[in-house]
Amino acid sequence: MKREVIEADVICVGGGIAGLMAAIRAAELGAKVVVAEKGNTLRSGAGASGNDHFFCYMPDVHGTDMNAAIAEWRATMVGGKVALKKGMAYVRTWFGMSLDIVKLWDSWGIPMTYRGKYEFAGHAFPGHPLMRLKYSGQDQKRVLSKEARKRGAIIRNRLMVFDLLGDGSISGALGIDTREDKLVELRAKSVVLGTGGCIRLYPSPTPGWMSNLEWTFGLTGGGRAMAYRAGAELVDMEMPYRHAGPKYLAGIGKATWVGVLRDPQGKPVSPFVKEPSRQYGDVGADVYQTVFEDYAKSGRGPVYMDCRGISDEDYEYMTYWLEQEGNLALLDHWKDEGIDPRKHRVEFMTYGMTHIGGVYYNDKTETSMQGVYAAGDEFGSGISGAAVYGWVAGENAAGHARTATPPAYGNDLIEDRESLFEDIRSREVGPGWREANVALQQVMQDHAGTVRSESSLNAGLNHLRRLKEKARSTMIARNQHELMRCVEVLDLLDLGELVFLAALERKETRGKHVRPDYPFTNPLLDGKLLTLKRVGNSPVIEWKETSR
Amino acid sequence: MPPVIDKSKCDGCGVCVNICPEDIFFGSEKKQVPVVAYPEECWHCGSCKLDCKRDAIRLRIPLPAMLCYDTEPLTK
């Protein structure tokens, strides 16, 4: 393998919303910044082709007493619950900075107003505060990439970082070029993790079509995996999340539709909206994502998104925002198949399992490892959280880089990875990445799925560990692209193992973590986080208080 | 889902090859009509279609991802 060495003050691992915001801020504070992006920052991550909702606290709209606004948000919140796990200081900074970031984005050319005004809609209960600002995010990644470059940040596309270098504190990171046979050593004083969410641990709703997922195919939890291997703390890895949206065409979402979720007889499935509302959408699917699955299983389904009868103005409004959210595939499909939501009701479904737990970071974006910062969906935050905390991460990473003295690191890890990759590339016979990924999804679904018990989790964990060893020693890749996918699967295997370990430790039923052997929700665990950390070669699992 | 490229419109500019988040056009030659080498890794984000200046790309929705819909009357 060829070798390349890159030196910087701050490395942003992942060039999504969080990574680019960190790069912009760190570069304008004078740091030498390199963004390492597996795809291309112009169109990568969960915001690749757009978004249309941005959480924002606006004193003119929500009242000048921020504490009162936070209290009201807590009482009627939809989504955003992960923010509370990062502590109230995190929530206050998020509220306090969101409008400044909105103004910045608008000044850079991401339209944050609609027809000249701020417009709040969606993800809210009728009669309660609307906190999602509608914005035209289709070109957000292009704008943010330009702003990063303007400030001198260097963007390295098709560079997949997979491990952190250092000893106790950070010295850099290690990556591969995804197009040519090259190992890249990135030396840095600070690292910002912004690799997004973790998907592909569980099967897609479509057997045999793995990419039919609710989020970007390449979001495979790289940040979580490298942070864990380097000794940083992960949290909530066992807590499942179920997303929902149109049946079979995953990745479209639900909050931008102007319609009501109804059963086959036309009865609304939630008590919140009775008629289509462009202002509120149907918040039912936000608070009860498994309504579709539960209705289907109990013989009451299917459940439809029913937009019939909406005005042409509302239809135009809805399609405009669906386009800004990046739903070109849906809009093209409507056109090709003659589907008109003003006439047709569209079936919705609950998608497969995923986890939004990940790298623990606080209101300063500090992780438990010195010099390593994390933001965005490294621990579920959504677009607005990624933008605000990407900025915070850039500021703190640049500050740390000014005084840090990175420890020396040995060559062992580099040589181990180089030898592993050369083996994967040189084998002629063996399973490809997809085969290994399917095997992993199968054991996750069957043994750490919607119902979990100690005996099943232990059986699954044993199987997964054998699978992990087998994948590592037999996988093949015909080129660098396939090697990138193999590395993703190795990360997923590490993360799957952690899900099993954490699910065994959480001896209670909470949310979608269902343990028939512990059917109650343990109130003593309210407000606590289950943390996982690698010490030596073993995982250490500990309960900690939320506000640290 | 995987993009379909209209060869009569494509001028081989390479923008789609450059920006695809999943690199499904991996291995495509410069100044040639791109090859969809890994169609099953396409996530239908539509970036290629958005950025194609010659309107040469459409997204083909695979049969298993077709929407379920109907027009049954509702009894409210």
**Can you tell me the ipTM of this complex?**
0.95
Predicted confidence pLDDT, tens digits, chain B (76 residues): 589 999 999 999 999 999 999 999 999 999 999 999 999 999 999 999 999 999 999 999 999 999 999 876 554 4
Q: Which is nearest to A465 in space by CA: A425, A500, A417, A503?
A: A500
- Residue A286 has what pLDDT? 85
Question: Which of B43, B51, B53, B63 is the mutation pick for testing A, counting most A CBs within 10 A?
Answer: B43
pLDDT at A303 over 70: yes
Model confidence at A338, pLDDT cuts 50, 70, 90, reads very high
Residues 18-57, chain B: which have Cβ within 8 Å of A?
Answer: 18-23, 26-27, 37-38, 40-47, 49-51
**B74 CB near a chain A CB, below 8 Å?**
yes
Q: Which residues in B lie closer than 8 A to residue A199 (C-beta atoms)?
A: none
Structure tokens at A408: 């020396």
- Find the domain containing A460 and state its range: 412-521
Asked if the structure places residue A26 within a domain, the reply is: no
**CB proximity A481 to B under 8 Å:** yes
**Confidence check: pLDDT of A196 > 60:** yes
Domain annotation covers residue A302: yes
Contact B26 A479 (CB under 8 A): yes
Location of structure tokens 């029913």: A306
Q: According to the model, what pLDDT value does residue B73 have? A: 58
Instruction: Tell me which of A314, A333, A354 is where a domain ends.
Output: A354
Could you give the CA distance from residue B18 to residue B20 in angstroms, rounded to a whole number?
A: 6
Residue A160 φ/ψ region, left for φ over 0, alpha for ψ in the -120 to 50 degree band, beta for the rest = beta
Q: Is the peptide bond before A407 cis (omega within 30 degrees of 0)?
A: no
Rounded to an integer, the average pLDDT of A81-104 is: 94
Average pLDDT over residues A77-103: 91
Say whether both A419 and A329 belong to one domain: no
Contact A266 B1 (CB under 8 A): no
Question: In chain A, which among 335-354 make CB contacts under 8 A with chain B?
Answer: 336-337, 339, 343-347
**A347/A265 same-domain check:** yes
A533 vs chain B: nearest CA distance in angstroms?
A: 30
Give the pLDDT score at A6: 98
Q: Which residues pair with A193 in a beta bridge?
A: A13, A374
Contact between A452 and A397 under an 8 Å Cβ cutoff? The reply is no
Q: How far apart are the C-alpha atoms of A449 and A444, rounded to whole Å?
A: 6
| Helix axes of A17-28 and A382-403: crossing angle, nearest 10 degrees | 40
Specify whether A248 is located in the same domain as A343: yes
Of B26, B46, B69, the CB nearest to A345: B69
What is the C-alpha separation between A162 and A153, in angstroms, rounded? 21
B61 vs A: CB within 8 A: yes
| A477/chain B closest Cα distance in angstroms | 14
- Distance in angstroms (rounded) separating the CA atoms of residues A91 and A87: 7
HSE, CB side, 13 Å, CA atoms: give it for residue A60.
Answer: 5
What is the count of structural domains for chain A?
2
- Please indicate whether, in this complex, the C-beta atoms of A251 and B43 are within 8 angstroms of each other: yes
Contacts of A209 in chain B (CB under 8 A): 40, 62, 64-65
Q: What is the mean pLDDT of residues A375-388?
A: 96
Q: Is A392 a domain residue?
A: no
Task: Find the residue in A nearest to B61 (Cα).
Answer: A333
Out of A79-93, A95-109, A158-172, A296-310, least confident range: A79-93
Q: Which of A181, A180, A184, A141 is nearest to A162 (CA)?
A: A184
Output the domain CATH number for residue A465.
1.20.58.100
Domain CATH number, residue A255: 3.90.700
Query: Which pLDDT belongs to residue A192?
Result: 98
10 Å CB burial of residue A482 (0-12, 13-18, 19+) is: buried
Same-domain pairing of A350 and A422:
no
Q: Would you call A534 an interface residue with chain B, using a CB distance cutoff of 8 Å? A: no
Counting beta carbons within 10 angstroms of the beta carbon of residue A12, is it exposed (0 to 12), middle (13 to 18) or buried (19 or more)? buried
| Band of pLDDT at residue A434, cut at 50, 70 and 90 | very high
Kindly state the average pLDDT of the residues A343-365: 94
Q: What is the dihedral of CA A104, A110, A114, A117, to 10 degrees?
A: 20
Answer yes or no: do B66 and A337 touch at CB < 8 A.
yes
A447 in Cβ contact with A459 (< 8 Å)? yes
Using an 8 Å CB-CB cutoff, list chain B residues near A302: 68
The percentage of residues in chain A with a pLDDT greater than 90, rounded to a whole number, is 88
Q: How far does A327 lie from chain B, in Å, by closest CA?
A: 7
- Smallest CA-to-CA distance from A307 within A340, A333, A270 is with A340
- For residue A6, give both structure tokens: 């890159």
* Residue A254 sits in the same domain as residue A350: yes
Three-state SS for A538?
A: strand
pLDDT at B76: 45
- B67 and A246 within 8 Å at the Cβ level: the answer is yes
* Chain A residue with the nearest C-alpha to that of B28: A179
- Distance from C-alpha of A242 to C-alpha of A209, rounded to nearest angstrom: 19
Distance CA A375, CA A10 (A): 14
A40 CB-side CA count, 13 A: 20
A421, A515: one domain: yes
pLDDT digits (tens, 9 = 90+) for A30-78: 999 999 999 999 999 999 999 999 999 999 999 999 999 999 888 877 7
A273 in the same domain as A342: yes
The verdict on residue A306 lying in a domain is: yes
pLDDT tens across A181-195, in order?
Answer: 999 999 999 999 999
Give dist(CA A194, CA A432) in Å, integer.
27
Determine how β-strand A240-246 pairs with β-strand A190-193: unpaired
Give the CA distances from residue A272 to residues A100, A283, A385, in Å, rounded to whole numbers and listed in that order.
32, 7, 26
Does residue A488 sit at the B interface (CB-CB below 8 Å)?
Answer: no
Instruction: Return contacts of A1-4, CB within 8 angstroms, 24+ apart.
Output: A1/A181, A1/A182, A1/A183, A1/A418, A1/A421, A1/A422, A2/A180, A2/A181, A2/A182, A2/A183, A3/A182, A3/A183, A3/A184, A3/A185, A4/A177, A4/A182, A4/A183, A4/A184, A4/A185
Q: Does the beta carbon of A253 lie under 8 angstroms from any beta carbon of chain B? A: no
What structural domains does chain B harbor?
Answer: 1-76 (3.30.70.20)
Q: Residue A8 has which token pair?
A: 């910087």
The answer to whether residue A510 sits within a structural domain is yes
Cα A217 from chain centre: 11
Q: In what order do the strands lie in the sheet with A538-545?
A: A358-359, A234-235, A528-535, A538-545
Q: Which of A151-155, A424-428, B43-47 has the lowest mean pLDDT?
A: B43-47
Share of chain A above pLDDT 70, in %: 100
Nearest CA-CA distance, residue A344 and chain B, Å: 5
The DSSP symbol for A388 reads H
Q: In the predicted model, what is the mean pLDDT of residues A372-396? A: 97
Among chain B residues, the shortest Cα distance to A328 is held by B46
pLDDT at A26 over 50: yes
Q: Is A295 helix (H, G, I), strand (E, B) or coil?
A: helix
Residues of A in contact with B71 (CB under 8 A): 343-345
Cross-chain CB nearest to B74 (options A179, A207, A266): A266
- Shared domain for A424 and A505, answered yes or no, is yes
Phi and psi at residue A151, in whole multiples of 5°?
-90, 5
Task: Inform me whether the C-beta atom of residue A332 falls under 8 Å from chain B C-beta atoms.
Answer: yes
Please state, in angstroms and rounded to a whole number, the distance separating the CA atoms of residues A344 and A267: 16
Tell me what pLDDT residue A17 has: 98
A515 in the same domain as A427 = yes
Distance from CA of B72 to the nearest CA of A (A): 8
Q: Could you tell me the CA-to-CA distances from A300 to A19, A127, A285 in Å, in that order?
A: 44, 29, 16
> Rounded to whole angstroms, how far apart are CA atoms A239 and A81?
13
Residue A260 lies in a domain: yes
**What is this structure's pTM?**
0.97
Residue A288 has a pLDDT of 87
Helix (H) or strand (E) holding A532, with range, is strand A528-535
**CA-wise closest residue to A12 among A44, A28, A30, A34:** A34
* Cβ neighbours of A486 in B, within 8 Å: none
Q: Report pLDDT for B72.
A: 67
List, as one string, the DSSP characters of A301-355: ---EEE-TT--HHHHHHHHHHHHHTT-HHHHHHHHHHT--TTT-EEEEEEEEEEE
Surface of A (21-50) touching B: CB under 8 A: 39-40, 42-45, 48-49
Q: Is A536 left (phi over 0), alpha (psi -120 to 50) or beta?
A: left
Are residues A328 and B21, on separate chains, in Cβ contact within 8 Å?
A: no
Look at residue A512 in the predicted model and tell me its pLDDT: 93
Find chain B residues with C-beta within 8 A of A262's C-beta: 74
Distance from B6 to chain A by nearest Cα, in Å?
16
Output helix, strand, coil percentages for chain B, rounded to the nearest 5: 20, 10, 70
Interface touch B59/A329, C-beta < 8 Å:
yes
The mean pLDDT of chain A is 95
Between A and B, how many CB-CB pairs are < 8 A?
A: 146
Instruction: Write the residue in A39, A336, A346 that is nearest to B69 by C-beta.
Output: A346
pLDDT value of position A289: 86
Contact (CB<8Å) B27/A216? no
Q: Which residues pair with A534 in a beta bridge?
A: A539
Q: Which residues contact A178 (CB under 8 A, 6 or more apart)?
A: A38, A158, A159, A160, A480, A481, A483, A484, B23
Whether A299 is in a domain gets the answer yes
Domain-located, residue A438: yes
Instruction: Say yes or no: B2 contacts chain A, CB-CB below 8 A.
Output: no
pLDDT tier for residue A548 given thresholds of 50, 70 and 90: low
The 10 Å Cβ neighbour count of residue B33 is 15
- Contact between A532 and A235 under an 8 Å Cβ cutoff? The reply is yes
Q: Which of A213, A246, A248 sits opposite B43 (nearest CB)?
A: A213
pLDDT at position A78 is 73
Query: What was the pLDDT predicted at A115?
Result: 96
Q: Which residue of A has its CA nearest to B76?
A: A266
